[in-house]
Chains A and B, each alone.
Chain A
Amino acid sequence: MLGIFASPMSFFVSLLLFTIGAIGSLIAQKDDALANWWGGLFAIAGSLGGLIFATSAMIVGNSMSFSLGALTFPLLTFSFHVDMLSAFFVFVISLIALFCSFYGIGYVKHYYKKYSIGALGFFYNLFILGMMLVVSSSNGLFFLIAWEVMSVASYFLVIYDRKEQSNLKAGFLYLVMTHIGTVFIILAFLLFYTYTGSLDFEVIKSGVALIPLSIKNIIFVLAVIGFGTKAGIIPFHVWLPSAHPAAPSHVSGLMSGVMIKTGIYMMMRIFLDILQPIPTWWGLTLLIIGSVSALLGVLYALAEYDIKRLLAYSSIENIGIILLGLGSALTFSSFGMPQLALLSLVASLFHTLNHSIFKSLLFLGAGSVINETHTRNMEEYGGLIQYMPQTAFFFLVGSMAISALPPFNGFFSEWMTFQSLFQGIAALDFSARWIFVTSAGALAFTGGLALACFVKAFGVTFLARPRSQEVLHAKESLPLLRVGMGALAILLLVFGLFSGFVVSFIEKVGRNLSIFHSIPSFVSVLPNQSPTIANFLRVSGPTFFAFIIVACIAVALAIKYVIHRNQEIRLGATWDCGTDLTPRMEISATGFVYSLMTIYKGVLMSRIHHDVKYFDEKTGFLQKSRTVTLSAKDVYQLYLYGPLRKLAAISSEKVKNIQSGNIHTYIVYIFFALVVALVFAL
């Protein structure tokens, strides 16, 4: 039975469903509702298909290679290779796409009559299709086509709300950055081709001995920049905080939850599978990149007052944490410690899965809030828990999971990442050891700051009193939206409580990689226990959770029924010091982080900007209003991308000089170009 589901056929069925969804909703675009339901339902069906395929492929546990017809393009074959790592990523993509699609059907309704729903359905399905192809293709050229499908489809989704000028700008930045990344990827693939004579990943892998070390190193740098741009590592992240918020919220959820992970997938594929064995400095470099991304990502998230930008920056932080796991995996494997390498890889994969769930949940929650209040500015929220209690609850669960609070799943993957770093500190020496110490320190501070960040995100949005009129009209989100969010919230708890089971599954995925084939398992597979590693004690999820719940309920019952039976709870106003307490007096998003931003001034370059309006412009005695903005300076724009852009503009200006407009000159250029090409070719 499982064999049928784990066959190429079922994968193609899933791909076909997305294709039908894409084309169908384009055809049905005259009718908004039809296009929406068509696109949404086929996306759901396709995701279900992908989910069934991936799950059974992981249970069966064999690798599949298959191709789509025999096309006779040079170098290009539509060949797929699905091993367990690919199946795992297909699983993550399908899982998130499933719930985002549920949410999307309800969410898209407010775009009716405003924009073309058919186009949205088309690009949405195409986007998921592209991601599925990216993680399953096994030919370099085919991969690049899939990569482009994914990037371009998501570009159109980013600029979907095109009446907003800033969205167009964000989309353009995204398009440029993603193609700069692609350039580096193409260069890496060309180097593969030069030395192994093939673009097929399997062939490259078997011929990896032909690639000299220096070229391997160059490929590493190219791949880190190329795939790191997609993953959003600092300093190639600049597109991420502007593009992710611009898209419709269920698409933001997919982009932040899943799309950036395709970069991680390719890093794992190339560094841990294809290019083995690897030098030590690769892993250490990834550790440093991971620490920087995690720490800076969370600091920038803290400084944000736009709720979706905050979540986007927090994605950068989590990519950093994933890279900490991956970096230690690479380091351990280069030192010949496959057991520890496997542990770190599993930590990294587990965090990939977890982050995709809680980040999409948080984006969906933010989408519901924005839908009701029509603003992304957190200063204008407040008190939403009274108006949208269920959305608030789901957002709370997401916030707890992302802050790594037990018993939710985020804690367990962060625990494993910590453990693999600790193992590195204990097992390695000298410089490698100090990089592990630094990484563990970065992760520790990141954890604390993430907690502060999400206390702010939840507290300022949902608690206290409404700070704008819009909040007073907010209503609970539609049932379909709540289904999407609720299911994800349940998954957070389930994956947390049964983390031991999930980890043993992911460990199987990791051991499918050829370098880990022969090593013994580190997981004691008991259904309700987390991994036991050497003498590090297990963390038992369900028991602990039950203990906390029992303790809280016992205390509550004891107080209610034993200590004081006829208690009276009166409602009263919050103590106001004798003045009239207005919502303007409660803490704002900016106020909440003021002290942390002042403390981290050196890193954030935070500055306060006062914008004062006067009744009397000339004399300036009577202030009308005063707006205070506390923000982090955009150093990347200022010192890296700004100068680069200027350089590009100046050099283009210089190159323009050779364009005389005279046809004879151009013929001479062509002649010289031909001669130079021939010299190189012969």
Chain B
Amino acid sequence: MPIIIWTIQLILIPALSPLGIGLIKNMKAKLQNRQGASIFQPYRDIWKLLHKDEVVSVDASWIFRCAPYIVFGITIVVGASIPLFSSLGQGIISSDMLLVIYTLATGTFFLALAGIDTGSAFGGFGSSREMTISALAEGGFIFSLLTLALTRGTTNLFGISAIPMSLYDQSFLPTLLAFLGFFIVLLAETARFPFDNPATHLELTMIHEAMILEYSGKKLALMEWASANKLLIFTALGANLFFPFALAQSSMMGVVLIGIFAFIFKILVFYAAIAVLESSISKFRFFRLPDLLLISFIFNIIAIGLLNYL
């Protein structure tokens, strides 16, 4: 039985992530009074790209060629080591919060290097902007998880998700504040509004798209898929660490199924929130983003301050 759970744990993120992107796009289209593409369109896109030949710049080095595999591989590994539908993983695999944060940073590192590698002006600026945002988001990211680690007494992510949330507990308000901080980081790290516009190739606004501009064919498919994975990973972190209910506590078939359905439900809520957000606000000017990230950090500081009175 655990083998089956591990298989589900391993493939759940890459299997569901394109669907998530399709859902957000579809919801946004509906909100904008458009028909919108099918929610399965991202799968078709990836399949199509995977069967195309590719063009690689003559200036590119092995970093550019290897980066998609590394970036994608890292999202798979991280996806498998965070709580998705159960909190059973404790002790089986390393899912320390700092390890997860820094492993994700390794992906960002190679993505940014790949952006510089081809010598295109777009790629370099994309990397510069990406590193700027991720450098500023790091504080909020670590501290929002730290607030949880302090309330639950462990930095293990499965450990954090194993302790049920109580509405009447004094840790409720700090958790809520930490969640607000985390949500800002989520938007920043996964290149959504108001940090980045995932739908455009206009050079003034793009960050993530600028870095992967030179990719084509299979490598582009991997990059797109990896970024969908990353969105799902962050959403799963937000859903399962801050709202840890209905997670499977044993490996019984029924409990696991409930866990998976609960997971999908929570993800749906998050994605709907992102879609509504993206339809209702505009992208911020680049130099206003630090304010937003600082707010995320301050939320977490307040949360930790409130923990004083536990």
Known: A448-B137, A448-B139. A586 touches B155 (CB 8 A): no
Whether A449 and B135, one on each chain, are in contact in the complex, defined by CB atoms closer than 8 angstroms, is yes
Q: Which of A445, A452, A463 contacts B116 (CB 8 A)?
A: A463
Whether A592 and B63, one on each chain, are in contact in the complex, defined by CB atoms closer than 8 angstroms, is no
Near A by CB (< 8 A), chain B positions 99-116 give 99, 102-103, 105-106, 108-109, 112-113, 116
* Residue A244 lies at the interface, judged by CB distance under 8 Å to chain B: no
Give per-residue flags for B51-75: 1 if the beta carbon is below 8 A from chain A beta carbons, else 0: 1011111110111000001101110
Whether B120 and A595, one on each chain, are in contact in the complex, defined by CB atoms closer than 8 angstroms, is no
Known: A464-B59, A539-B96, A595-B287. A444 touches B106 (CB 8 A): no
A-B contact count (CB 8 A): 254
Known: A572-B56, A595-B287. A552 touches B135 (CB 8 A): no
CA distance A445 to B153 in the complex (A): 23
Contacts of B116 in A (CB 8 A): 455, 459-460, 463-464, 586-587
Known: A415-B98, A536-B155. A429 touches B135 (CB 8 A): no
CB distance from B251 to the nearest CB of A (A): 20
Near A by CB (< 8 A), chain B positions 77-95 give 77, 80, 90-91, 93-95
Near B by CB (< 8 A), chain A positions 523-580 give 535-540, 543-544, 547-548, 551-556, 559, 563-564, 567-576
Q: Which of A548, A567, A598, A599 contacts B73 (CB 8 A)?
A: A548
Q: Which of A177-185, A208-216, A306-314, A398-406 contacts B (4 or more CB under 8 A)?
A: A398-406
Whether B50 and A595, one on each chain, are in contact in the complex, defined by CB atoms closer than 8 angstroms, is no
* Residue B31 lies at the interface, judged by CB distance under 8 Å to chain A: no
CA distance A585 to B59 in the complex (A): 14
Q: Which of A263-271, A418-426, A630-638 contacts B (4 or more CB under 8 A)?
A: A418-426
CB distance from A534 to the nearest CB of B (A): 8
Tell me which of A426, A548, A553, A594 has the highest count of chain B C-beta atoms within 10 A of its own C-beta: A548
Known: A385-B63, A448-B134, A564-B51. A464 touches B117 (CB 8 A): yes
Known: A455-B127, A575-B214. A425 touches B134 (CB 8 A): no
Q: How large is the interface on B (under 10, 10 to 19, 20 to 34, 35 or more residues)?
A: 35 or more
Q: Which of B17-25, B141-149, B257-265 contacts A (4 or more CB under 8 A)?
A: B141-149
Whether B53 and A448, one on each chain, are in contact in the complex, defined by CB atoms closer than 8 angstroms, is no
* Residue A340 lies at the interface, judged by CB distance under 8 Å to chain B: no
Q: Summarize A's interface: helix, strand, loop or mixed.
A: helix
Known: A455-B127, A537-B94, A547-B77. A573 touches B57 (CB 8 A): yes
CA distance A497 to B255 in the complex (A): 37
CA distance A306 to B224 in the complex (A): 36
Q: Which of A93-101, A164-172, A286-294, A433-441 contacts B (4 or more CB under 8 A)?
A: A433-441
Whether A386 and B61, one on each chain, are in contact in the complex, defined by CB atoms closer than 8 angstroms, is yes
Whether A422 and B119, one on each chain, are in contact in the complex, defined by CB atoms closer than 8 angstroms, is no
Contacts of B217 in A (CB 8 A): 567
CA distance A593 to B134 in the complex (A): 13
> Quick one: closest A residue to B61, CB to CB?
A385
Whether A415 and B119, one on each chain, are in contact in the complex, defined by CB atoms closer than 8 angstroms, is no
Whether A536 and B124, one on each chain, are in contact in the complex, defined by CB atoms closer than 8 angstroms, is no
CA distance A411 to B150 in the complex (A): 21
CA distance A429 to B105 in the complex (A): 32
CA distance A405 to B99 in the complex (A): 9
Whether A537 and B113, one on each chain, are in contact in the complex, defined by CB atoms closer than 8 angstroms, is no
Contacts of B109 in A (CB 8 A): 400, 403, 405, 451, 455
Give per-residue flags for A580-619: 1 if the beta carbon is below 8 A from chain B beta carbons, else 0: 0101011100011111101100000000000000000000
CB distance from A214 to the nearest CB of B (A): 33
Whether A569 and B54, one on each chain, are in contact in the complex, defined by CB atoms closer than 8 angstroms, is yes
Whether B150 and A570, one on each chain, are in contact in the complex, defined by CB atoms closer than 8 angstroms, is no
Tell me which of A460, A567, A570, A595 has the highest count of chain B C-beta atoms within 10 A of its own C-beta: A595
CA distance A569 to B116 in the complex (A): 20
* Residue A355 lies at the interface, judged by CB distance under 8 Å to chain B: no
Contacts of A587 in B (CB 8 A): 116, 121, 123-125, 127-128
CA distance A559 to B96 in the complex (A): 30
Known: A458-B113, A464-B117. A595 touches B128 (CB 8 A): yes
CA distance A573 to B59 in the complex (A): 8
Whether B156 and A404, one on each chain, are in contact in the complex, defined by CB atoms closer than 8 angstroms, is no
* Residue A510 lies at the interface, judged by CB distance under 8 Å to chain B: no
Whether B159 and A592, one on each chain, are in contact in the complex, defined by CB atoms closer than 8 angstroms, is no
Near A by CB (< 8 A), chain B positions 149-195 give 149-150, 153-156, 159
CA distance A606 to B63 in the complex (A): 32
Whether A445 and B135, one on each chain, are in contact in the complex, defined by CB atoms closer than 8 angstroms, is yes
Whether A585 and B121, one on each chain, are in contact in the complex, defined by CB atoms closer than 8 angstroms, is yes
CB distance from B139 to the nearest CB of A (A): 4
> Quick one: closest B residue to A441, CB to CB?
B139
CA distance A440 to B217 in the complex (A): 43
CB distance from B125 to the nearest CB of A (A): 6
Tell me which of B58, B98, B287 has the highest count of chain A C-beta atoms within 10 A of its own C-beta: B98
CA distance A400 to B109 in the complex (A): 8
* Residue B278 lies at the interface, judged by CB distance under 8 Å to chain A: no
CA distance A425 to B308 in the complex (A): 10
* Residue A447 lies at the interface, judged by CB distance under 8 Å to chain B: yes
Contacts of B153 in A (CB 8 A): 426, 535
Whether B128 and A591, one on each chain, are in contact in the complex, defined by CB atoms closer than 8 angstroms, is yes
Q: Which of B53, B59, B139, B149 contacts A422 (CB 8 A)?
A: B149
Whether A555 and B72, one on each chain, are in contact in the complex, defined by CB atoms closer than 8 angstroms, is yes
Contacts of B128 in A (CB 8 A): 587, 591-595
Contacts of A392 in B (CB 8 A): 61
User: What is B's interface to A at a CB cutoff of 8 Å?
Assistant: 50-51, 53-59, 61-63, 69-70, 72-74, 76-77, 80, 90-91, 93-96, 98-99, 102-103, 105-106, 108-109, 112-113, 116-125, 127-129, 131-132, 134-139, 141-143, 146, 149-150, 153-156, 159, 213-214, 217-218, 222, 286-287, 290, 297, 301, 304, 308
5 pairs, CB–CB < 8 Å, chain A vs chain B:
A445-B135, A463-B116, A544-B93, A559-B218, A586-B121
CB-CB nearest 5 A-B residue pairs: A587-B124, A448-B138, A552-B73, A448-B135, A464-B119
- Beyond A455-B109, A539-B96, 4 additional contacts (C-beta under 8 Å) are A383-B119, A441-B301, A574-B120, A585-B121
